[in-house]
Amino acid sequence: MPELTYREAIRDALVRAMRQDDDVFVMGEDIAEMGGSMGVTQGMLAEFGPERVRNTPISEMALAGAAIGAALQGMRPVAEIMYEDFMTLAAEQIVNQAAKHRYMSGGQVSVPVVFRTQGGAGWSPGAQHAQQLEAWFVHIPGLKVVFASTPEDVRGLLWSSIYDDNPVVFFEHRTLYGIKGEVPEEIEPIPLGKARIHREGEDVTVIATGRLVHEALAAAAEAEREGVSVEVVDPRTLQPLDEEALVASVKKTNRAVVAHEAVTRMGFGAEVAAVLQYQAFDWLDAPIERVGAKFAPLPFAPVMESYVVPHAEDVLAAILRTVNKKV
């Protein structure tokens, strides 16, 4: 299988979809000549032209509204919101329009639009360019929410998102763009709502998203040296959530750690913990551990940024607490 970076895998899904389907196009700020702030759409303008690789004004609400309108007319737009923080500016369109039209029309119209966005710490972007806001959108009925952690998953999930008839908010993590992984030659769509087990284990289940999947895998390797067998599960799709897979893993290991980069308070992990508490309470041999960022805006200084967000050692400490090993 060829090896692609996370960035290249996203571009590959977009290019192949646009080659086979004239209804698919991309739009966003600086995505044409500049190739987007993260270089994902680099080179696409030359192949598809400005009608299908559309630079937009610097107005997230306007570009989101235009994408929704195009979707309502039968197109399949992929709108890039440059930074996840700027989703707040487009929230009225995404939350009150895109998420509601199919329901309010009794299913007479669909809104097949994808809102791609990226965020995350690890490069000192400061408090306004690195928030992780996925839990905000999981809370909205009518939206599907995806957060892929590997090149293979990001390509297959983006393909499925483009061809879903519902609006999808597609989260990417800034520090993952350069990671490499084997990706099948042919695109294999990954159904939305199916979790992935990255590592089998017997003693503790770690349910992680985004960058924390990789931190969890590093922590699992370290825990193994301590004699603790860790299973690492990535939900991949936050809404719909593969509750069955998460619960089955915890029923097997009898312990759970939930890890994400977003602030712990009211984070996505709280919902996962509630699902596990409700459906797997009788199987739990220890309290569910939650790992996330401290309740603070993200600092600019690298040492402070690193202090606020979680890392592999934080996941490891939570793993060891669940099995009563000294941290």
Question: What positions carry a catalytic annotation?
Answer: 60, 129
Q: Helices (DSSP H) in 163-210: which residue ranges?
A: none
Maximum pairwise Cα distance, the chain: 60
Please provide residue 205's backbone torsions phi and psi, each rounded to the nearest 5 degrees: -100, 125
What is the C-alpha to C-alpha distance for residues 198 and 221, in angstroms, rounded to an integer?
12
Residues 291/257, Cβ–Cβ less than 8 Å: yes
DSSP states along 14-80: HHHHHHH-TTEEEEETT-SSS--TTSTTTTHHHHH-TTTEEE--S-HHHHHHHHHHHHHTT-EEEEE
What is the C-alpha to C-alpha distance for residues 48 and 23, in angstroms, rounded to an integer?
12
Comparing C-alpha atoms, which of 61, 161, 136, 142 is closest to residue 101? 142
Residues forming a β-bridge with 293: 263
Q: In what order do the strands lie in the sheet with 168-173?
A: 53-55, 24-28, 76-81, 114-119, 168-173, 144-147, 237-239
What is the C-alpha to C-alpha distance for residues 252 and 284, in angstroms, rounded to an integer?
10
Amino acid in position 76: R
Q: Is 231 exposed, middle or buried (0-12, 13-18, 19+ CB in 10 A)?
A: buried
Residues forming a β-bridge with 248: none
